[in-house]
Amino acid sequence: MITIGINPVAFTIGEMSVRWYGVMIALAVVLLILWVVWQIRRGADISYDSLLTVALIAIPSAIIISRLLHIIDMRGFYMANPGLLLGFGGLTIWGAILGATLGIWVYSRFSDFKFGYFMDLVTPAVLLAQAVGRVGCTINGCCYGKVTSLPWGIVYTHSDSYGLNASIEALSKGMGLHPTQPYEIIFLLIVFGVLFWLRRRFQPEGSLFLIYLSMYSIWRLGLGFLRDGTDFLFGLHQAQVIGIVVLLIVVPILVMRTRWIKGESKG
């Protein structure tokens, strides 16, 4: 059994506490931007002005949709506590992915910005950014798994950890919690390696991003059976339902449009 006693609060500014989760999310955003800057320097067909515009659109879009999906998922709690509707106390990764994607797509409809090209370009970095974010989840104690007797089960001991109560309950049974956050970090890094190797191997542009969406959807559908959470629909968590919807949209597009390019240089 693995014990995590790290203080989830990284530092305080006056009465405001900044948790490691927030720090890691900020680092993830910086990583995404630096990745695209690196690609531009290597000759990617995107300008720094376009990158700035996309960042100014994608970041708030991701936050808004992420927060909205969290509120919908926890609607019972927020109906009882409407004063907590505003804020950043709960965000969802699906909301961040879909919100940013929607914002960038809308921008591309009103400009000459190449949506598919950009999404393929940034897909590997999205995986790395998610992995960084899950490090924050691991420290924060959120997104933990169900009770398990496996030797690598984790328990949270810090009083500010979101996983403290679940850990106490698990310990009362002599068990720990599934380390679903590290599970996902490992998965994301493996997929990063695979898709980084496969980049520029598919046509049309945007196919790599769609492959990522399908792989992540399958992952979240399966992981949901190991994660603690609230039922959203048909006994499934919200992330599982979204994963199914994404698969129903993405897989037919991949089957009908995506083609493998033989011998294409990956650069």
Looking at residue 57, its pLDDT comes to: 96
Q: Percent of the chain scored above 70 by pLDDT? A: 96
Residue 192, domain member (yes or no): yes
Residue 134, domain member (yes or no): yes
Residue 54, domain member (yes or no): yes
Looking at residue 263, its pLDDT comes to: 54
Q: How many C-beta neighbours within 10 Å does residue 235 have?
A: 7
Report how far residue 203's alpha carbon sits from residue 240's, in angstroms, rounded to the nearest whole number. Answer: 28
pLDDT (mean) for 88-109: 90
Residue 87, domain member (yes or no): yes
Residue with more model confidence, 221 or 13: 221
If one counts the domains in the chain, the total is 1
Does pLDDT of 187 surpass 90? yes
Domain that residue 10 falls in: 2-197
Report how far residue 19's alpha carbon sits from residue 9's, in angstroms, rounded to the nearest whole number. Answer: 4
SS3 letters across 110-133: CCCCCHHHHHHHHHHHHHHHHHHH
Residue 257, domain member (yes or no): no
Residue 157, domain member (yes or no): yes
Residue 227, domain member (yes or no): no
Q: CA separation (Å) from 65 to 61, 71, 126, 161, 257?
A: 6, 10, 17, 25, 28
Residue 205, domain member (yes or no): no
The 10s digit of each residue's pLDDT in 126-154 is: 999 999 999 999 999 998 999 999 999 99
Confirm if 159 and 217 have CB atoms less than 8 A apart: no
Does pLDDT of 89 surpass 70? no
Does pLDDT of 90 surpass 80? no
